[in-house]
Homo-oligomer: A and B are copies of this chain.
């Protein structure tokens, strides 16, 4: 909708620009609210350094959730980039994805607060993993729906569609495995969640090499 041609009066669907604006807002706020999960130690006195060091689960949870939301945003970005138009189902699925993204600060705080306590940390890690799995699943559903409903750009090659689908799929299996692992060794599961998020971030680089690094003619006027 930001192109030079006026929007066709016939095409009065929900504009993707406001969809993106709300989505970017929720992603940005959820990712920034995570810092509130790191509780400033009170009355630490001369032991402040030790108190701050003891907060490592909070930093780990911050890194995991930040990476996951960041990776989801990257994925969301690629999806809307390939989107030709949105329809009403897509908009609703997108709201559901945002509901899950906006929820993530809660299991993040839960995990940060209860790691180190034997029984509760398993519960917290499992709730955390299920939340991450749900958010990632919905991102995958959003993409699948966009492809099936024919919302993606017509000039997009099938192999590109398949490539993105393949990238989004294995992470889901990873979460399922790690949730089971987390029942026994919670900390390993959480480090695994971080690894998945970084994996999500990195493939987009390789994925990007195909398109992003394509040399652009320098004699074009800058856009």
Give me the interface of A with B, judged by CB distance under 8 Å. Answer: 1-7, 9-15, 17-18, 20-22, 24-36, 38, 40, 42, 44-46, 48-49, 52, 62-63, 66, 70, 73-74, 77-78, 80-82, 84-89, 91-92, 95, 98-99, 102-103, 105-106, 109-110, 113-114, 117, 119-120, 123-124, 127, 153-155, 201-202, 204-205, 207-209, 211-214, 216, 218, 221-223
Contacts and interface: CB of A to CB of B under 8 A. Distances in A.
Nearest to A27: B22
A22 B28 contact: yes
A interface: dominant SS: helix
- Count of this chain's copies in the oligomeric assembly: 4
A216 B212 CA distance: 28
Contact of A28 (B4, B29, B63, B78): B29
Most buried by B among A31, A63, A155: A31
B62 A103 contact: yes
A81 B11 CA distance: 11
A106 B40 contact: yes
A223 B40 contact: no
Contacts of A27: 22, 25
- Among A25, A153, A209, A211, chain B packs the most CB atoms within 10 A around the CB of A25
Contacts of A110: 40, 52
Contact of A14 (B20, B29, B81, B95): B81
A124 B41 CA distance: 11
Given A12-B81, A20-B18, A31 B102 contact: yes
A76 to B, nearest CB: 9
